[in-house]
Amino acid sequence: MRSGQEVIERLSYLRQIAGTQQHADLIAACLDRLDLFRLSRQVAALEAVLDTVVGPVSVERRAA
């Protein structure tokens, strides 16, 4: 947003689509973008980085 007017216009638009399929689609798109930040994805990414840095670790060692 670059101005107060843009904020007002966007809020007006969002109020107009409330409860419509377009609103549901917008929420779904937002959730898709947030999926990257899910803990399960972050853990997988962290494990991949750690595996690259320290090499393969035995199952017994991970359990300890």
Residue-wise pLDDT tens digits, 6-54: 999 999 999 999 999 999 999 999 999 999 889 988 998 899 899 888 8
Q: Which residue has the tokens 């007006």?
A: 12
Per-residue confidence (pLDDT) for residue 30, from 0 to 100? 96
Specify the number of domains making up the chain.
Answer: 1
Greater confidence, 5 or 45?
Answer: 5
- As a whole number of angstroms, the distance between CA 39 and CA 43 comes to 6
Give the chain's length: 64
Nearest 10 degrees: CA dihedral of 31, 40, 43, 25?
A: -10
Which residues form the domain of 14?
A: 4-63
The pTM score is 0.57
Greater confidence, 6 or 59?
Answer: 6
